[in-house]
Amino acid sequence: MRILHVISATLISIILYMFIFLFLVHKPLTIGIIKDYYDQKIRYLYSINNNKIIVLAGSNGRFSHRCETIESETGVPCSNMSVAADIGLEYQLNIVKKYLISGDILYLPLEYGTLAKTAQEAMAGKEIPYIVSYDRNYIFSMDINHLTHALFYFDVQYLLSGIGEMLLDGVGIKRRFSIDTITVQGDESTHTTLKGKQYQSYLKNYQWLPPSYQDFDENSHTAKILSLFMKWAKQNKITVIGGLPTTFDTKKIPKKLIDKLKNYYEKHGHHFLLLDNRSQYSIDKFYDTPYHLCEEYQIQHSVSVSRNLKINEFYKYDVR
């Protein structure tokens, strides 16, 4: 009899848990905004009827790269699908994959460390609560490990922070950046040098360390995911171009790491774009983190990326 009580209590707990986190509690300020971003970005991506360039990374892709500029400089439509670095790479690639066609370019200035994550680390991103709340069809494509992790991702801390966000959203509290500051192409905007002055003291005292050789591991879970994607891209005549994220120039990015990344992309039949400055800029050109250029330099950096794309003629992929 006691066993039946335990089983009943367990089932009731699971049902209550599912009901709370599937239907009641959500995070409008940190997870809901991802839906807003994707809705707007996919709308523009879907509207492009010919070959295009897609920029995909974390928030460095959104703040430091500007498809509006790349589109103007190259004459090729450009969609910035970058949102945040803590959204799993596998999920991000799956989102853009369905919109890629032969002759397209996918530019990946991924944040350092992205291609060095274990399976456990890769499954700890914001895509889990996002999928459960807003992309439930994706759940059916998950294997048993991902599915179990997704369904039992939530805890008391998430419950309390979710309730807090719902209360803040209810009284009209908003984030500094939202879809109101996004360009048509999906880039962040309005993060000007003038607005960024309030963060300069913080950035100058920031203990930034350059990435190390260990920030890329070809045998990591995430690198294997990208390898499989590049194989698919090659078969479908889609060009993948690796690149470096923007960051401080106080110390140089190790050449050994750059060579390792370059060899990785080229070994899989794709390309690597390296700017003369290794995508490094002085601290005063950044907005609020070592990955976020101010808008003026976001545009300048994107002009440099565009010119390198044109020089190498990556955007003239041979689809024969």
Q: What angle do CA 86, 90, 91 make, to 5 degrees?
A: 70
| Mean pLDDT estimate for the chain | 89
Q: Is the pLDDT of residue 151 over 80?
A: no
* pLDDT tens-place string over residues 207-219: 999 999 899 999 9
Q: Name the percent of the chain lying above pLDDT 70.
A: 93
Q: Is the pLDDT of residue 278 over 70?
A: yes
Q: Name the percent of the chain lying above pLDDT 90.
A: 65
Q: Could you tell me the domains of the chain?
A: 2-315 (3.40.50.1110)
Q: Within the chain, how many helices (H) and strands (E) appear?
A: 14, 7
Least confident range of 118-122, 159-163, 164-168, 314-318: 314-318
Q: Which residues contact 105 (CB under 8 A, 6 or more apart)?
A: 51, 52, 53, 54, 76, 238, 239, 240, 241, 309, 314, 315, 317
Q: Is the pLDDT of residue 7 over 60?
A: yes
Phi, psi values for residue 156, rounded to 5°? -65, -40
* DSSP assigned state of 182: B
Q: Is the pLDDT of residue 315 over 70?
A: no
Q: Is the pLDDT of residue 195 over 90?
A: yes
Confidence of residue 5 (pLDDT cuts 50, 70, 90): low
pLDDT score recorded for residue 176: 79
Return the structure tokens found at 209. 């360390």
Burial of 111 (0-12, 13-18, 19+ CB in 10 A): buried
pLDDT score recorded for residue 314: 65
Q: Is the pLDDT of residue 56 over 70?
A: yes
Confidence of residue 319 (pLDDT cuts 50, 70, 90): very low
Q: Is the pLDDT of residue 127 over 90?
A: no
Residue indicated by tokens 């839906």 = 35
